[in-house]
């Protein structure tokens, strides 16, 4: 019989000694308790204290065995229990089975009979454990995208993500474009107690105000032109689960007010309705804007900011964790080569050097795009530096001198000017290279007061 640890609880000292002896001689380690309460105290005081099996007497002088069993089940739901009962008390034995005991054995019993019951209980426990492990693995594999990193900087962000996932707090993810905000949002949901419920997402920048409102809140038939039927909103559909509000910084002030109400009151009113509906959702929001600055500029409600910002996660830009470039590049190489069924499996040292030195304004999305493109262009199994749309002259010196010229903003501003010049001020191509939307680029051009020479603008 495989060894393991067994706890025995019985108020007859003779029986305790006898069981300890036969179980130890079968290779088990044994803890004995003459009082149920002592066992419960120990379990309560030390959450790691457990065993592979508990063998428990049902008739004890100090505390009813059924009561002990109930408490044990509460404290250690996964600990299998075998009950010992005196001959003639089948009723209470049956009750223990209903309470989740694995089996019972009637005293007096021969040693072989006890060992047989214990063996079956342990076998079943092993199976259950294996099932739980497989199920956990399934959740890990199918749910969030694979998150690749080796840097300490990202490790800290990842640890924090897992740590806060278990709470009910709303979470704000603030980071540059392409730093993996969406991936983190998924990781929050799929590591939270809500993981079996829905995870729904909406991009606040992609929709007009009215459309966004009706998507979120739902609407009644006839609420506006074109509303030909009642439609459930995401707030209702995500009830019990998580709602990911991407690009929250682009939400207009009137909608922000409505969202605040949802968070505060946990209720909302569908468009065209007068009746409020209740909803229980956890909100994870993301933005690449500096929301505190948006608040100061009067573009974002301060009260909503504080509601969303209970916990903020800052995925760092790729240029601040260059160790991650290589593993990420290899990850994308494998992913796209498999997808395109192309035999490309090598990134030359030269190409890797360019990738590592480049400062990645479009972050991981830009790296992903560049690798995908290189695989398409590759003529053999290698990605060489010629296949990368980055030339040596694109690699800007990244010395830091702390005089403000190297602030994130000035680096970003300079880089946008750089790419605009390279593309002959072609905005769509610039946006593509930077890995941002055209809308984002236009906004940055205004924010940074960049001059675009006339006659160089492509249509649209
Ligand atoms: N650590 C990572 N490991 C593997 N892939 C990653 C990682 N981080 C990001 N990615 C991938 O990079 C791409 C961009 O990530 P994501 O969409 O999450 O970024 P984002 O921060 O939401 O960007 P945006 O602000 O532009 O919406 C996605 O394809 C994502 O799967
Ligand atoms: Mg995103």
Domain of residue 269, CATH code: 3.40.50.300
Q: Pocket of ligand 1, candidates 291, 365, 443, 444: which has the most ligand atoms within 8 Å of its Cβ, to mutate?
A: 365
The first and second tokens of residue 410, run together, are 């000035």
Q: Does residue 329 sit in the same domain as residue 223?
A: no
In DSSP terms, which residues pair with 106 in a beta bridge?
A: 85
**pLDDT at res. 145:** 66
CATH number at residue 326: 1.10.8.60
205 lines ligand 1 (CB under 6 A): no
The residue whose CA is least distant from atom 18 of ligand 1 is 180
The residue whose CA is least distant from atom 29 of ligand 1 is 365
**pLDDT at res. 88:** 66
Q: Does residue 338 sit in the same domain as residue 271?
A: no
Of 118, 139, 160, the residue at which a domain comes to its end is 139
Of 296, 199, 216, which Cα lies nearest the Cα of 251? 216
Q: Does residue 171 sit in the same domain as residue 301?
A: yes
Considering only CA atoms, give the Rg of the chain.
31
Q: Cα separation of 151 and 179, whole Å?
A: 14
Backbone angles phi, psi at 429, to 5 degrees: -65, -40
User: Is 146 inside a domain boundary?
Assistant: no
User: Is 375 inside a domain boundary?
Assistant: yes
Q: Does residue 125 sit in the same domain as residue 202?
A: no
Give the DSSP letter of residue 45: H
Of 256, 281, 313, the residue at which a domain comes to its end is 313
Instruction: Answer yes or no: pTM beyond 0.85.
Output: no
H helix count then E strand count, the chain: 18, 14
pLDDT in tens, 64-116: 888 899 999 888 888 899 998 876 677 777 888 888 888 888 888 888 988 99
Quickly tell me which residue has 């120990």 as its tokens.
42
**CA 107 – ligand 1 centroid, Å:** 63
User: Is 144 inside a domain boundary?
Assistant: no
Q: Does residue 115 sit in the same domain as residue 197?
A: no
* Residue 59, burial from CB neighbour count under 10 angstroms (0-12, 13-18, 19+): middle
* Residue 152, burial from CB neighbour count under 10 angstroms (0-12, 13-18, 19+): exposed
User: Is 240 inside a domain boundary?
Assistant: yes
Of 38, 34, 35, which Cα lies nearest the Cα of 13? 34
Q: How many domains does the chain have?
A: 4
Q: Does residue 328 sit in the same domain as residue 434?
A: no
pLDDT in tens, 244-263: 999 999 999 999 999 999 99
**CA 356 – ligand 1 centroid, Å:** 18
pLDDT in tens, 207-232: 888 889 988 999 888 877 777 778 88
Of 277, 177, 183, which Cα lies nearest the Cα of 234? 277
**pLDDT at res. 135:** 57
**CA 434 – ligand 1 centroid, Å:** 14
The first and second tokens of residue 243, run together, are 């709602």
Is 395 in contact with 357 (CB distance < 8 Å)?
A: yes
Residue 134: which domain range? 5-139
**pLDDT at res. 405:** 55
Query: Measured at the alpha carbon of residue 452, what is the angle toward residues 449 and 458, in degrees to the nearest 5?
Result: 135
**pLDDT at res. 285:** 97
Of 117, 139, 161, the residue at which a domain comes to its end is 139
Q: Does residue 230 sit in the same domain as residue 364?
A: no
Largest CA distance in the chain: 100
Q: Cα separation of 101 and 95, whole Å?
A: 9
Is 6 in contact with 118 (CB distance < 8 Å)?
A: yes
**pLDDT at res. 238:** 92
CATH number at residue 108: 3.40.50.2300
pLDDT in tens, the chain (460 residues): 457 899 999 988 988 999 999 999 989 999 999 999 999 999 999 888 999 999 999 877 667 888 899 999 888 888 899 998 876 677 777 888 888 888 888 888 888 988 998 888 888 877 777 666 665 554 444 455 689 999 999 999 999 999 999 998 999 999 999 999 999 999 999 999 999 899 999 999 988 888 899 889 998 888 777 777 788 889 999 999 999 999 999 999 999 999 999 999 999 999 998 899 999 999 999 999 999 999 999 999 999 999 998 899 999 999 999 999 999 999 999 999 999 999 999 999 999 999 999 989 999 999 999 999 999 999 999 999 999 988 666 665 544 444 445 677 878 888 898 888 888 788 998 998 898 999 999 999 888 877 776 554 443 3
Q: Which atom of ligand 1 is nearest to the CA of 288?
A: 25
Residue 156 CB neighbour total at 10 angstroms: 12
288 lines ligand 1 (CB under 6 A): yes
Query: Crossing angle for the helix pair 363-377 and 349-357, nearest 10 degrees?
Result: 150
**CA 24 – ligand 1 centroid, Å:** 55
Is 316 in contact with 175 (CB distance < 8 Å)?
A: yes
């Amino acid at each position: 019989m495989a060894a393991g640890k067994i706890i025995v609880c019985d108020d007859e000292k003779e029986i305790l000694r006898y069981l300890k002896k036969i179980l130890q001689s079968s290779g088990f380690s044994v803890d004995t308790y003459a009082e149920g309460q002592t066992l419960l105290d120990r379990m309560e005081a030390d959450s790691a204290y457990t065993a592979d099996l508990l063998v428990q007497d049902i008739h004890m002088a100090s505390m009813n065995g059924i009561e002990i069993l109930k408490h044990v089940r509460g404290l250690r739901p996964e600990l299998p229990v075998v009950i010992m009962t005196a001959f003639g008390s089948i009723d209470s034995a049956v009750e223990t089975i209903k309470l989740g005991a694995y089996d019972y054995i009637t005293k007096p019993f021969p040693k072989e009979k006890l060992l047989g019951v214990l063996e079956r209980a342990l076998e079943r426990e092993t199976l259950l454990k294996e099932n739980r492990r497989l199920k956990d693995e399934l959740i890990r594999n199918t749910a969030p995208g694979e998150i690749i990193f080796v840097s300490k900087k990202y490790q800290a962000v990842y640890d924090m993500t897992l740590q806060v996932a278990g709470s009910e707090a709303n979470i704000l993810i603030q980071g540059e474009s392409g730093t993996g905000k969406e991936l983190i949002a998924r990781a929050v949901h799929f590591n939270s107690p809500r993981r079996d419920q829905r995870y729904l997402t909406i991009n606040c920048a992609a929709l007009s105000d009215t459309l966004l409102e009706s998507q979120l809140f739902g609407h009644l038939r006839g609420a506006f032109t074109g509303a030909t039927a009642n439609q459930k909103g995401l707030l209702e559909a995500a009830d019990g689960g998580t709602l990911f509000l991407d690009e929250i910084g682009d939400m207009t002030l009137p909608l922000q007010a409505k969202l605040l109400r949802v968070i505060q009151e946990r209720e909302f009113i569908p468009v065209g309705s007068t009746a409020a509906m209740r909803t229980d959702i956890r909100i994870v929001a993301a933005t690449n804007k500096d929301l505190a600055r948006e608040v100061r500029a009067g573009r974002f409600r301060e009260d909503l900011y504080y509601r969303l910002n209970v916990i903020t996660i800052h995925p760092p830009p790729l240029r601040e964790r260059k160790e991650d470039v290589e593993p990420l590049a290899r990850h994308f190489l494998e992913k796209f080569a498999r997808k395109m069924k192309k035999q490309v499996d090598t990134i030359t040292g030269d190409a890797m050097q360019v990738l590592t030195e480049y400062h990645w304004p479009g972050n991981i999305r830009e790296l992903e795009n560049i690798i995908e493109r290189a695989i398409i262009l590759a003529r053999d199994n290698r990605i060489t530096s010629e296949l990368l749309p980055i030339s040596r002259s694109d690699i800007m010196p990244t010395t830091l001198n702390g005089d403000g010229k190297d602030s994130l903003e000035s680096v970003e501003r300079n880089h946008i000017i750089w790419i605009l010049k390279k593309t002959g001020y072609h905005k769509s191509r610039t946006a593509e290279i930077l890995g941002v939307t055209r809308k984002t680029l236009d906004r940055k051009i205004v924010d940074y007061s960049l001059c675009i020479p006339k006659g160089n603008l492509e249509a649209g």
